[in-house]
Structure 1
């Protein structure tokens, strides 16, 4: 329910604060007083499209604040949650500012938001009805939804939507399978050759790394063995061993000659007495003992070194053919991986993928048959749901037509005919029915759409009758009727007012009216006034007390000159 509306510096309104009540709220006033401005301002804060220039002359910005009561479970709360806005408060405060430069800023419960969020919220808060209401009853695109609401067919509509989704899903699955099978058939030769090649190679997980490690190890061992072989040759008979043996023989020979020379001197040779004081000093044989012993030790250690090198060579031995086999396998793996643009470790999974595609190709016929059967089943389910919904719609249409006939008679349109036409439409999520509300204002006259056949006054009454028939369970909704009683008067206007009053039992109703009969039935009455001061025009809204209300209805009856007779007539209307 709309609780209050505050307007600042909008059009010819300086400052206006309105507090609305449940029930039937009527706004009256002379033509041009600014009644439509109130609707413009309300539409502005609700995000509706309207006038381009709204800011009052001389003001920097205009502002409108609307406060709605928001009971638990209200549909607006879901929209607030989707928009990330607070949805726990018992009231909803909408605020929108229009700058002189045309920029608009919106808030919901003091949080910045967009005009689109305001528009979505407005659909759950307010309904506007009038002769130019193309958003509601006059829009043929909404007639099917209105009929479904009237007939309480939402559950059937939901079942039809579900069946449509199932049909669409089955159709998509079949189309995807057909495309996949067609693509597989184009590459069947490739798939079979690739699988055969991969199966022959039989790549194993981690094999590439194992082969690479083995290859590197054998290559490194080969290089090491070459160096050890060189060392073995250097230590062998053609190397250092020969050199050491030669040196040892030379030293031993020298030692033997030195010993022989010493023996001759000891036998009294000619020089024997020359060095009697240094016996044994400088004996060459004894001088060579140390290097000869060292060379002997060297030969022994050299032998140990040779044995160690031999042992190392034995340990470093490997089969060249094994290296060749490892390299051949490794290169085969990597070559096939490059061919298929995968890593060697992915070859196994890639092969499995190809096998699955081949299996899908081989089993494609059976899968297609299964999917075609599923599509047929889904189509039958949709046809059944759509047929059930269509039958229920035709039943609801007959009920609505009868209800409209009963409503039109008191509105002095007993000769008019209303018909809910249902024709076959393209299948869709909400069935195969095209629903159109058509009217014929007189017997024998051609029937046609509401907004093309009915005159202004007739259209107003058709819309009101429709709203009375279609409105059920709308507690908490605010309905606005903009001069919906235009072109009617007397008993017809009274019938219009009484139907508006009946609507207000379940919903808040705001009516902009020129009809005294309608105004007299309002539970709350405001008069819109326009004043001019210092060549500045302003509009204001005044709540009417019982006596001033009599004067206002008398003015509506008599015009500018209000007589006592007019007041008596006004009092009679208020008592009726």
Structure 2
């Protein structure tokens, strides 16, 4: 509930503080006095997009502060929690507009973005402006209105989920069909390439091994002679034989040296062991270099075949094995493609059937809600002096989509026997206002959590009809808080609290003023609205009758 509004240096307002109350709050005043500026100011602090030139002439910045009561369970608490902002029983919004256009906002004394303000405003205030009934003329919004009335959000979510599943299944099927077609177009190439690859059977790392083996065989003849000489120098006819002789001679002489040869003999044994390992390694190397000349030819042929096939397919030789695996997978997809397509077609049919089932339930629910809305609106039209009008919600087939497969439109017949038709063609301006009010009453399940604002909702009507509009607004305000900007004395008379907006000129500048009216002042204001500038006793008497009328 909106408790107060403080406006400083905005448009023609220098300083204005208003304390609002529960029930029906009415704002009246002459045209141009600044009533719309109050709504502009409230919209500014709530983050609504509006006019840019808000700062009062001569001021450096404009500022608006609004404060609200937030009862426990109010949806604004969740918005504050999601945004990481402090909560509590009172919500204070403040927004500043600098002369250069920069805007800064605070929520409970914490800096906040305009987006957070707008999310909060959706839970705090509902504005029905002078042109809000244009929404009734736009059939694209009728389905959303019906769904809100029927509380079909959960069922609509089921439809959205089913539509996403249906769309995903169709996309998967289309992708599989396209892939199968592309694979079919290159099947001959794939099968020929697989024959070559399977025949060669390349292995990862094989090229490097073959290249090293080829290089070793090519250099074998050059190094073999040197290695043989080294083996001879190390073997029995060389170092190994000489060390063996030395070892035997030292062993024979060791007994007469009192242990002085023990260490040299041990070192010689170790050296002979190391020498033996060296001889074994050289012998193995010679054996490895002992190759068949035809093996070199075979190695080169396979190496060149690997490299040639790699160049053909534009890959590295080590990637041929991976390429073969990929081609085999594509050929397997071709071979099993028809079976996969059948399975995906079955899944697509099932997803379509699931969508059709839940969309059908949504259609049935919308038709039921349409009948209920029609009765509810017509019940509201009677006290608004339109008891002979007929309101009909049509639910017709439409192209399937995430919101279902229904097209919803509101039609009216304002007189008995007259044909029904769209609101834009059938209803007059005053009738549109009353249709709007009736719809808003029907759609407002719980007005206690929001402040509802009606900006000249009573335009185009007068007399008993305006009185009926005022009474219905008062009934609606009994559930919470309603603010009404009005030029109708019948509507203003129904207010529990009355503010007058007026202009004054100070220092050559026009400024707007708002004051709360006492009972006598209220009578005079209503008398002015009835008779004009010249307030007569007859007008005052009429004003008193309006206020006291049951």
Same fold per TM (> 0.5)?
Answer: yes
2:348 is aligned with 1:375:
yes
Of 469, 480, 494, the residue aligned with 2:467 is 494
Equivalent residue number for residue 382 of structure 2: 409
Distance 1:79 1:349 in 2: 54
Equivalent residue number for residue 270 of structure 1: none
User: Helix, strand or coil: the match of 1:33?
Assistant: coil
After the TM superposition, which residues 31-110 of structure 1 pair with which residues of structure 2 at under 5 Å, given as runs?
Answer: 31-69=31-69, 86=85, 93-106=92-105
Equivalent residue number for residue 440 of structure 2: 467
The 8 Å contact of residues 131 and 456 in structure 1, kept in 2 or not, is answered as no
Spell out, residue by residue over 1:124-144, the C-alpha distance to the aligned partner (whole angstroms, 9 max, x if none): 433221341167444322211
Distance 2:17 2:436 in 1: 30
Equivalent residue number for residue 481 of structure 2: 508
Equivalent residue number for residue 203 of structure 1: 202
The 8 Å contact of residues 532 and 538 in structure 1, kept in 2 or not, is answered as yes
Q: CA deviation at 1:572?
A: 4.7
Q: CA deviation at 1:407?
A: 1.4
Mean Cα deviation higher: 471-480 or 352-361? 471-480
2:276 is aligned with 1:318:
no
The 8 Å contact of residues 208 and 344 in structure 1, kept in 2 or not, is answered as yes
Equivalent residue number for residue 18 of structure 2: 18
Distance 1:338 1:182 in 2: 27
Distance 1:141 1:117 in 2: 27
2:158 is aligned with 1:156:
no
Distance 1:116 1:379 in 2: 38
User: Helix, strand or coil: the match of 1:410?
Assistant: helix
Question: Structure 1 318/479 Cα, relative in aligned 2: closer, same or farther at 3 Å?
Answer: farther
After the TM superposition, which residues 427-446 of structure 1 pair with which residues of structure 2 at under 5 Å, given as runs?
Answer: 427-446=400-419
Mean Cα deviation higher: 212-221 or 538-547? 212-221
Distance 2:134 2:217 in 1: 84
Spell out, residue by residue over 1:384-426, the C-alpha distance to the aligned partner (whole angstroms, 9 max, x if none): 2222222221221122112222211211112222221222222
The 8 Å contact of residues 231 and 283 in structure 2, kept in 1 or not, is answered as no
Q: CA deviation at 1:433?
A: 1.4
Question: Structure 1 557/450 Cα, relative in aligned 2: closer, same or farther at 3 Å?
Answer: same
| Structure with larger Rg | 1
User: Helix, strand or coil: the match of 1:493?
Assistant: helix
The 8 Å contact of residues 412 and 426 in structure 2, kept in 1 or not, is answered as yes
Q: CA deviation at 1:181?
A: 0.6
Structure 1: segments with no counterpart, 5+ residues: 235-303
Distance 1:497 1:430 in 2: 37
Question: Structure 1 185/90 Cα, relative in aligned 2: closer, same or farther at 3 Å?
Answer: farther
Question: Structure 1 335/19 Cα, relative in aligned 2: closer, same or farther at 3 Å?
Answer: farther
The 8 Å contact of residues 4 and 68 in structure 2, kept in 1 or not, is answered as yes
Q: Using structure 2 for the length normalisation, give the TM-score.
A: 0.80
Spell out, residue by residue over 1:59-99, the C-alpha distance to the aligned partner (whole angstroms, 9 max, x if none): 233233334455676555666677x6637566555444434
Q: CA RMSD in A?
A: 3.5
Q: CA deviation at 1:218?
A: 5.0
The 8 Å contact of residues 229 and 313 in structure 1, kept in 2 or not, is answered as no
Mean Cα deviation higher: 223-232 or 197-206? 223-232
Distance 1:332 1:64 in 2: 82
User: Helix, strand or coil: the match of 1:30?
Assistant: coil
Mean Cα deviation higher: 504-513 or 319-328? 319-328
Question: Structure 1 416/187 Cα, relative in aligned 2: closer, same or farther at 3 Å?
Answer: same
**What is the aligned length?**
505
Spell out, residue by residue over 1:279-303, the C-alpha distance to the aligned partner (whole angstroms, 9 max, x if none): xxxxxxxxxxxxxxxxxxxxxxxxx
Of 358, 363, 384, the residue aligned with 1:390 is 363
Equivalent residue number for residue 353 of structure 1: 326
Distance 2:135 2:174 in 1: 39
Question: Structure 1 363/96 Cα, relative in aligned 2: closer, same or farther at 3 Å?
Answer: same
Question: Structure 1 49/213 Cα, relative in aligned 2: closer, same or farther at 3 Å?
Answer: same
Q: Using structure 1 for the length normalisation, give the TM-score.
A: 0.77
The 8 Å contact of residues 14 and 511 in structure 2, kept in 1 or not, is answered as yes
The 8 Å contact of residues 3 and 68 in structure 1, kept in 2 or not, is answered as yes
Equivalent residue number for residue 497 of structure 2: 524
Question: Structure 1 313/129 Cα, relative in aligned 2: closer, same or farther at 3 Å?
Answer: closer
The 8 Å contact of residues 10 and 62 in structure 1, kept in 2 or not, is answered as yes
Distance 2:133 2:466 in 1: 23
After the TM superposition, which residues 210-249 of structure 1 pair with which residues of structure 2 at under 5 Å, given as runs?
Answer: 210-215=209-214, 218=217, 223-225=222-224, 227-228=226-227
Spell out, residue by residue over 1:114-157, the C-alpha distance to the aligned partner (whole angstroms, 9 max, x if none): 65554454444332213411674443222111111212222222
Distance 1:345 1:81 in 2: 57
Distance 1:313 1:428 in 2: 77
The 8 Å contact of residues 129 and 136 in structure 1, kept in 2 or not, is answered as no
The 8 Å contact of residues 217 and 289 in structure 2, kept in 1 or not, is answered as no
Structure 2: segments with no counterpart, 5+ residues: 234-274
User: Helix, strand or coil: the match of 1:409?
Assistant: helix
User: Helix, strand or coil: the match of 2:127?
Assistant: strand
Distance 2:418 2:72 in 1: 49
Question: Structure 1 226/78 Cα, relative in aligned 2: closer, same or farther at 3 Å?
Answer: farther
